[in-house]
Structure 1
């Protein structure tokens, strides 16, 4: 395996680009290949079996592109399929899960909120994580409809603001001081969220932690790219490329894939 091979990332759509940004910032010399399976978004409404099959398909595409490491840039895919992926393939996998631990360790009100998909909140892995935090109150809220609106490019719509107000105001009323974003799509909603919740509530997601873990695993496996040149980044989507381009803020190296 060549150290210049790509880091592969996949998500149920454009949201995982929030994770890609953090990895690209920390490791600018790494080559990356991102796969947006937008046609099947959101994964959060699918059965565990369906999610696992989609993850196999995504992984096999990335392995065909010689990925040296795969980042499952989707909370739902991680919480439902990471175990199966690691058992089936030899490549190192990095998963993402809601950043409950830093919120739980820092809360002063002993109450935190988590906004995530149904697939993440209902998963065994999530329930295992939550069980260990017995001394704090965790308010869980499914973000019904949010992923679809982001995938449609409707981040700044009135409908988005209405949904966010419905989900967040009850959490604020229960005195949360941390809001955990448990879906890689949701960091794109931070400007909207900040209009609704008090500035005293801290918003956290998993992006930075995932980037640091990616760096660590590359180094542990001896597969970090030591080239000083800027890496090449390529993006594939099986939906309208303009939505992915708008999220990324650029138009180069974004390709449609009939997948």
Structure 2
């Protein structure tokens, strides 16, 4: 495997671009290929078997493109499928899980909130993580409808504001001091979330930690790209590319593709 080969990243749509941005910022010398499986979003409402099947399909597409490492930029896919992916494919995988640890370790009210998909909150991996912090009260909330609205580019719609109020107000009333965003789509909602929750509540997502782990694994495997050739950042979506282009801020290298 050549160090100039791309990093492969996939998500159930456009949300994982929040992870891509962190990786690209930390590792600007890397080529990347991003798959937005928007046609099948959200993964959070699917069965474990369906999530594993979709994750394998995405992985194989990225491996066909010569990717040297795969970042599963989706909490639901990580918590439901990463064990199977690591067993099946001979390539390093980076997963993403809700950042419960920093929130649980730093909370002063001993109460934290987590907003995530049904697939993540119901997963075995997530529940094991929760058990580790039994001394902290964790208020879980499924973000029904949020991913669909983000995929449609309706981040600032009245419907989005209504759902966020419904999901976040009970957490505020329960005296949380940390809000963990357990879906890579949700960082795009931070401006709206900040209008609803008090200033003292800290919002945590996993993006920066995933980028650091990606760098660490590349270094460990001698796969850091040291070439001076021009770098490529390629994005594929199996849906309308309009929202993806808007969220990235550019339309070059964004392609619609059946997969």
Shared fold per TM-score greater than 0.5: yes
Q: Does 1:181 align with 2:176?
A: no
Q: Distance in 1 between matches of 2:200 and 2:39?
A: 37
**How well do the aligned residues superpose, as a CA RMSD in angstroms?**
0.7
Q: Is the 1:30–1:230 Cα contact (8 Å) retained in structure 2?
A: no
Q: Does 1:153 align with 2:173?
A: no
**Displacement of 1:230:** 5.7
**Displacement of 1:247:** 1.1
Q: Does 1:224 align with 2:246?
A: no
SS in 1 for 2:113: strand
Q: Distance in 2 between matches of 1:214 and 1:44?
A: 24
User: Which runs of structure 2 are paired with 1:1-259 in the superposition (5 Å)?
Assistant: 1-228=1-228, 231-259=231-259
Q: Is the 1:29–1:229 Cα contact (8 Å) retained in structure 2?
A: no
Q: Is the 1:236–1:256 Cα contact (8 Å) retained in structure 2?
A: yes
SS in 1 for 2:226: coil
Compute the TM-score of the two structures, normalised by the length of structure 2.
Answer: 0.99
Q: Distance in 2 between matches of 1:124 and 1:230?
A: 42
Structure 2: which 5+ runs fail to align?
Answer: none
| Residues 49-91 of structure 1: per-residue CA shift (max 9 Å, x gap) | 0000000100000000000000000000000000000000000
Q: Is the 1:45–1:118 Cα contact (8 Å) retained in structure 2?
A: yes
SS in 2 for 1:105: helix
Compute the TM-score of the two structures, normalised by the length of structure 1.
Answer: 0.99
Q: Matched residue pairs, number?
A: 259
Q: Is the 1:15–1:185 Cα contact (8 Å) retained in structure 2?
A: yes
**Displacement of 1:227:** 2.3
SS in 2 for 1:225: coil
| Residues 101-146 of structure 1: per-residue CA shift (max 9 Å, x gap) | 0001110100000000000000000000000001110000000000
**Displacement of 1:46:** 0.3
**Displacement of 1:231:** 2.7
**Displacement of 1:189:** 0.2
Q: Is the 1:73–1:95 Cα contact (8 Å) retained in structure 2?
A: yes
SS in 2 for 1:10: strand
Q: Distance in 2 between matches of 1:209 and 1:118?
A: 23
| Residues 154-213 of structure 1: per-residue CA shift (max 9 Å, x gap) | 111000000000000000000000000000000000000000000100000000000000
